């Protein structure tokens, strides 16, 4: 009974703060837009009893989802988001793995400090850190000034308001989520395994690919999902750094909701986004489960 109570707490939490809001969003996505408060119909009128409930369900349809497939803007935005999230995740892995590897190889007394340095950016507001990148990447920014000063380029590079700026922003912001799980996996790696591989005829490089990489795979997968999932729905970074040419679904969602005040379409966009995210989330949880079983 006590066990049941303990287990039910997180499930109750999820029910109240995830499932119920999701059902509300799902309901709105099936509604029609209206000039009213709230700006959609139908609304549930319990005062009319059974007839009211029937009328309510009769008013729901999949019109908004059909609309999403008809207007190329939406699927282009989804595709572009997937592309940006995939590329950013790959870049974050390429940057994060060496950092995590370096941390795991560092002497014991340094590791806490290195870990602190990785987490440190979180102590500043996310928004301020993204704004700071505008100062660095813009045409008159520090990066261009520096490159012109050392004579590498004559005309400033256009980075701001391109996808490159979005990649930089996402990789920078989500890098700790990539580093920490990989570091946790690499830190546990027994050095004698690498020695054994060397003893059995591997060069160090080969031992790295045959042992270090496969044994840190759970960390790599966890890190990739932790970057990919938020990057896919990212709104702030493409808005601030990507300019108008970067199409991302988070931005579309915001525009539908606040500019067009079309709550039903915005909700439909959100529901589809969630459906896209659920696939990697399920894969991620499978991976976690496997890892736990292997650890037994």
Partner 1 sequence: MAVPVFAPWEDPTQKPLIQFKGVTKRFGDFTAIDNQTLDIYTREFFALLGPSGCGKTTMMRMLAGFEQPTEGQILIGGIDMKGVPPNEREVNMMFQSYALFPHLSVWENIAFGLRRMGQPKDELEARVEEMLRLTRLTKFARRKPHQISGGQRQRVALARSLARAPKLLLLDEPLGALDKKLREETQFELMDIQEKTGTTFVIVTHDQEEAMTVASRIAVMDEGCVIQVATPATIYEAPNSVYVADFIGDVNIIEGAAKRAGTGYEITWAEGEAPLHTRKEEGEIVAIPEGGKAYLAIRPEKVAIHADKPQGVANAVQGKIIDVAYLGNLSTYHVRLANGTMVRAQTANTRRLALRPFTWEDTVWLSWTDTAAILLAE
- Applying CB under 8 A, the residues found at the interface with partner 1 are 190, 192-193, 195-203, 206, 211, 214-215, 294, 296
- Residue 295 CB, shortest distance to partner 1, in Å, is 8
Whichever of 279 and 294 has its CB closer to partner 1, that residue is 294
Q: Where are the alpha helices (DSSP H) in the chain?
A: 2-14, 20-29, 50-58, 63-70, 72-105, 108-119, 126-137, 142-149, 163-188, 191-199, 204-207, 213-215, 217-232, 236-241, 249-254, 263-295
Task: Kindly tell me which of 25 and 202 has the beta carbon lying closer to partner 1.
Answer: 202
Q: How far is the CB of 192 from partner 1 (least distance, A)?
A: 4
Minimum separation from the CB atom of position 200 to partner 1 (A): 4
Exposed/middle/buried for 250, CB within 10 Å: 0-12, 13-18, 19+?
buried
Closest CB 214 distance from partner 1, rounded Å: 5
> At closest approach, how far in Å is the CB of 114 from partner 1?
24
For the CA atoms of 273, 279, 285, 289, what is the dihedral angle to 10 degrees? 170
158-185 burial code (b ≥16 CB/10 A, e <16): ebbbbbbbbbbbbbbbbbbbbbbbbbbb
Question: What's the maximum distance between 2 C-alpha atoms anywhere in the chain?
Answer: 80
Written as one string, the DSSP assignment of 228-273 is HHHHHT--HHHHHHSTTT---HHHHHHIIIIIS--HHHHHHHHHHH
Min separation Cβ 84 and partner 1, Å: 32
Tokens 């340094």, residue located: 110
Would you say 211 or 220 has its CB closer to partner 1? Answer: 211
Min CB(182)–partner 1 separation in Å: 16
Instruction: Quote the least distance from Cβ 101 to partner 1, whole Å.
Output: 18
- Which one, 45 or 190, has the nearer CB to partner 1? 190
Q: Which is nearer to partner 1, 191 or 244 (CB)?
A: 191
Please tell me the number of Cα atoms within 13 Å of 262 on its side-chain side: 15
Q: How far apart, in whole angstroms, are the C-alpha atoms of residue 67 and residue 128?
A: 37
Cα radius of gyration rounded to whole Å, the chain: 24
β-sheet bridge partners, residue 19 = none
Query: Residue 31 and residue 29: Cα distance in Å, rounded?
Result: 6
Nearer to partner 1 among residue 178 and residue 211 (C-beta): 211
Query: Which residue, 1 or 294, is less far from partner 1 as judged by CB?
Result: 294
Euclidean distance between CA atoms 110 and 102, whole angstroms: 11
Q: Which is nearer to partner 1, 32 or 195 (CB)?
A: 195
């Amino acid at each position: 009974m006590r066990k049941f109570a303990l287990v039910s707490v997180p499930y109750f939490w999820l029910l109240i703060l995830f499932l119920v809001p999701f059902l509300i969003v799902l309901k709105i996505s099936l509604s029609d837009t209206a000039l009213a408060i709230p700006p959609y119909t139908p609304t549930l009128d319990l005062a009319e009893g059974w007839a009211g409930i029937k009328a309510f369900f009769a008013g729901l349809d999949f019109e908004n989802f059909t609309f999403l497939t008809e207007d190329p803007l939406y699927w282009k935005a989804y595709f572009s988001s997937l592309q940006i999230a995939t590329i950013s995740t790959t870049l974050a892995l390429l940057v994060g793995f060496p950092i995590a590897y370096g941390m795991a190889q560092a002497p014991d007394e340094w590791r806490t400090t290195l870990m602190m340095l990785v987490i440190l950016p979180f102590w500043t507001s996310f928004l301020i850190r993204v704004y700071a990148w505008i100062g660095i990447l813009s045409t008159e920014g520090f990066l261009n000034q520096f490159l012109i000063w050392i004579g590498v380029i004559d005309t400033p590079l256009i980075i701001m308001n391109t996808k490159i700026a979005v990649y930089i922003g996402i990789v920078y912001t989500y890098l700790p989520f990539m580093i920490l799980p990989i570091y946790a996996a690499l830190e546990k790696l027994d050095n004698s395994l690498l020695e054994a591989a060397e003893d059995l005829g591997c060069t160090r490089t080969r031992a790295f690919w045959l042992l270090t990489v496969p044994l840190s795979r759970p960390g790599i997968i966890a890190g990739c999902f932790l970057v990919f999932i938020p990057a896919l729905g990212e709104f702030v970074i493409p808005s601030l750094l990507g300019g108008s040419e970067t199409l991302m679904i988070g931005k579309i969602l915001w525009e539908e909701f606040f500019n067009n005040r079309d709550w039903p379409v915005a909700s439909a966009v959100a529901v589809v986004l969630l459906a896209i995210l659920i696939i990697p989330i399920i894969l991620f949880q499978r991976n976690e489960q496997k890892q736990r079983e292997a650890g037994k």
